[in-house]
Amino acid sequence: MRQPLVVGNWKMNGSTATIQTLLEQMKQGIGSVERTKVGVCPPFVYLSQVSIALGATNIAWGAQDVSQQAEGAFTGEVAVNMLKDFNCAYVIVGHSERRSLYHESDELVAQKFAAVQAGMMIPILCVGELLEERESGDTENVVKRQLDAVLNLAGIAAFEKAVIAYEPVWAIGTGKTASPQQAQDVHAFIRQQLAKYDNAIADKVQILYGGSVKGSNATELFSMADIDGGLIGGASLKADDFLTICRAG
Ligand code: PGA
């Protein structure tokens, strides 16, 4: 039985004040979440604040990205050991905004994935197709290519301690959600790809759905057999909305 996981990706939003309010509200409401493991990924500069606020709770935290380099002259980058220093549990790698706006290749994403695991944190590997790729029937090819880059570098065993997030790019921040069946089909495909190498690992890995998840559609999405929770952008910025989604897990 896979435990549901819901992770908030705050992206480049918030301030010390708004984040403090959000954290207080989450702490007050988290008792109403029964089964689901919950995490939040703030911008790097707020990790200290978040780690202090959530330290004594069962809410985990993580980062939205990381450098593949260990340390050195890489202006503006943040290393795995720095994230460990702030007790991050999770690190998102390969978010579609990083892939498209910052031209991160499949190979670079795979290197980041491996670096996060070497640092004993859990990578949340994002995969997903563009609208034109879906329309031309390429969804499975794209997702397979993105997965294969990580499998080739890190191997199947790496997925024992990893999370995958399927996020169709056309559904991110657009208000357009994949239908539960559309999402389920891709989730099942991802699990099948891993099962070619190892059934037990394929069965165990949590696969989250991301892309315009809201309180109103979370229950239906999370009830699908291969959807184990969500990676939540916009709706994770309001405690009420986010906690409603967490309770749907
Ligand atoms: P969204 O973002 O929930 O705002 O669509 C999801 C994500 O990018 O992870």
Q: What is the pTM of this model?
A: 0.98
Residue 233 near ligand 1, beta carbon < 6 Å: yes
pLDDT digits (tens, 9 = 90+) for 98-149: 999 999 999 999 999 999 999 999 999 999 999 999 999 999 999 999 999 9
CB atoms within 10 A of CB 58: 10
What DSSP element (H or E) covers 98?
Answer: helix 96-101
Domain count across the chain: 1
Question: 98, 104, 106, 206: which is closest to 153 by C-alpha?
Answer: 106
Are residues 154 and 197 in contact, defined by beta-carbon separation less than 8 angstroms? no
Residue with tokens 């699908």: 224
What amino acid occupies position 228?
Answer: D
The domain in which residue 238 lies consists of 5-247
d(CA 76, CA 32): 39
β-pair partners for 63: 91
Backbone angles phi, psi at 80, to 5 degrees: -55, -45
Among the atoms of ligand 1, which is closest to the Cα of residue 212?
Answer: 5
Residue 59: pLDDT band with limits 50, 70, 90? very high
Which protein residue's CA is at the shortest distance from atom 6 of ligand 1? Answer: 233
State the distance from the centre of ligand 1 to the C-alpha of 239, rounded, in angstroms. Answer: 15
State the distance from the centre of ligand 1 to the C-alpha of 93, rounded, in angstroms. Answer: 14
Return the percentage of the chain with pLDDT > 70, whole number: 100
* CATH label of the domain that carries residue 94: 3.20.20.70
Residue 232 near ligand 1, beta carbon < 6 Å: yes
